[in-house]
Amino acid sequence: MKKERLIVVGGVAAGMSGASRARKLRPDMEIIVFEKSGYVSYAMCGMPYFVADRVKTVESLVFYNASFFQENRNIRVFLHHEVKRILTAKNTVVVEDRESGKEQTYEYDKLLITTGARPFVPSIEGTNLRGIFTLRQLEDGIAIKEYVLNEKPKTGLIMGGGYIAMEMAEAFSEAGVKVTIVEKMPEILGTMDWEITERIEKELERNGVTLIKSDSVTQFTGRGSRVVGAVLGSGLTVNADIVLISVGITPNSAIAKEADIRLGVAGAIGVNAKMEASIPGVYAAGDCAEAHHIVLGRNVYVPLGTTANKQGRVAGENIAGGDAAFKGIVGTSVFKTFDLEVGRTGITEKEAMSEHMDYVANVIEHISRAHYYPGVSRILVKLVADRKTGRLLGAQMAGTEGVSKRVDVFATAITARMSVDEITELDLGYAPPFGPVNDPVLVAAEQLQKQV
């Protein structure tokens, strides 16, 4: 009797978690993964630290290689193989071997699309010059590190002011590169409120990063085939021996669209709580798919590695005949740039305003440890809550220590739909090296409680 076959398109977080979950529940299922790059199951979020040489080897970023899945989980992995077309009427995919150029057709019973996202590269002159990079796949990080080591650039330009830009500003600086960030909007990090971004800008400035806002690159200039600078819309010129284009990502969903699979928010693949796409037998997960937002109550596009892993597991379980559901996200994210830790969860005040919510918001600053304990610093906390019910809607934080732990407390509270009143009653851990008796979490909630 022919085995039921699952084909997974893409082999990073969502793809391999989905394949592994399906294998655990269905030892009899045939599982094939096609990955267009040379790696599977790796830590994309670790690439800035690899470029900075804090992570010494690329192998350190790889959780499991292809042979592990083949030898230990009976999952066939084809590296350097790209699915070019999905023919849902025939339950087949057309796959190109990127090394030989040959195409082959494979049948499937179930299909999991985890094609991730792709970096957006604007159509401006000079983007083909040597020394201009994007950072999305592991090979991108390897190429950037090799360029830094071999070419020893002295000046760098980062186009865009998002999370990756903040992390890579530190990475380039640690490699001896003088960094300029060019952001076309009036503020960096459009996903955060100005009280937080102001603190980040000061940290960048303190570490010698030049920040140019409300301006954009119109042309890259080169000497021979190598980039040497950029021209901005304002007429300014910036010297740059290395360039990172980091102006955002878009769902890598073109292959799904061509197969008449419904797309949703921001062009991501539309899915339900079971991670089912619009065509029976087809599932999608990770950075190519939508995710339900618990606060907003609708699907959104917020690509994060943690979400990809969870969505992949849900898809894998349902593919294997289970009945799992993805409960949703609250958009929790944290990052570090130089000595500053930054985090957010839920929605910002800007988002609450755009959603026409009746909300209250406050900003407090409080100590990170007991005031007498060495190394004490200050943490900035901003909260947003529903004016009528007091339900916490969002939190943002910035400080030199303890941010990630406290953002997770707020993320848990938002997921549990807790009010600021309930948050003030939380029994949080206390010891002088870790926090004051009145933790910043509690102080921020107590202050906002007065406005509800």
Q: Which two tokens stand for residue 151?
A: 């070419």
Residue 1 pLDDT exceeds 80: no
Catalytic residue among 5, 30, 38, 45: 45
Residue 225 pLDDT exceeds 90: yes
CATH class for the domain made up of 5-51+60-117+250-319: alpha beta
**β-pairing, 226-232 with 237-239?**
antiparallel
- Please state whether 150 falls in left (phi above 0), alpha (psi between -120 and 50) or beta: alpha
52-61, 84-93, 163-172, 309-318: range with lowest mean pLDDT: 52-61
**Range 102-106 average pLDDT:** 97
Residue 2 pLDDT exceeds 90: no
Question: What local confidence, expressed as pLDDT, does residue 410 receive?
Answer: 98
Q: Which two tokens stand for residue 166?
A: 């903040």
- Report pLDDT digits (tens) over 388-412: 999 999 999 999 999 999 999 999 9
288 is known as an active-site residue: no
- Report pLDDT digits (tens) over 24-59: 999 999 999 999 999 999 888 999 999 999 999 989
Question: What local confidence, expressed as pLDDT, does residue 428 receive?
Answer: 95
Residue 237 pLDDT exceeds 90: yes
**Range 171-198 average pLDDT:** 96
Question: What local confidence, expressed as pLDDT, does residue 179 receive?
Answer: 98
Residues of the chain with CATH 3.50.50.60: 5-51+60-117+250-319, 121-247, 339-449
Q: Considering the chain, what is the average pLDDT of its residues?
A: 96
Residue 58 exposure: Cα atoms within 13 Å on the Cβ side: 15
Question: What local confidence, expressed as pLDDT, does residue 44 receive?
Answer: 87
- Report pLDDT digits (tens) over 269-305: 999 999 999 999 999 999 999 999 999 999 999 999 9
What percentage of the chain carries pLDDT values higher than 90?
97
- Report pLDDT digits (tens) over 55-86: 999 899 998 999 999 999 999 999 999 999 99
Strands of the sheet with 5-9, listed across from one edge: 76-79, 30-35, 5-9, 110-113, 282-284
Q: Of the CATH numbers 1.10.1740.10, 3.10.50.30, 3.50.50.60, 3.40.640.10, which one belongs to the domain with range 121-247?
A: 3.50.50.60
Q: What is the band of 373 on the pLDDT scale with cuts at 50, 70, 90?
A: very high
The closest alpha carbon to 334, from 429, 403, 245, belongs to: 403
- C-alpha span between 378 and 399 (Å, rounded): 6
- C-alpha span between 64 and 27 (Å, rounded): 20
Q: What is the band of 227 on the pLDDT scale with cuts at 50, 70, 90?
A: very high
**Range 107-125 average pLDDT:** 96
Question: What local confidence, expressed as pLDDT, does residue 43 receive?
Answer: 87
Q: Of the CATH numbers 3.40.50.1000, 3.90.230.10, 3.40.640.10, 3.50.50.60, which one belongs to the domain with range 339-449?
A: 3.50.50.60
How wide is the angle at C-alpha 340 spanned by C-alphas 53 and 379, nearest 5°? 155
Question: What local confidence, expressed as pLDDT, does residue 156 receive?
Answer: 98
Alpha carbon separation from 378 to 299, 371, 445 (Å, rounded): 36, 10, 17
**Range 142-158 average pLDDT:** 97
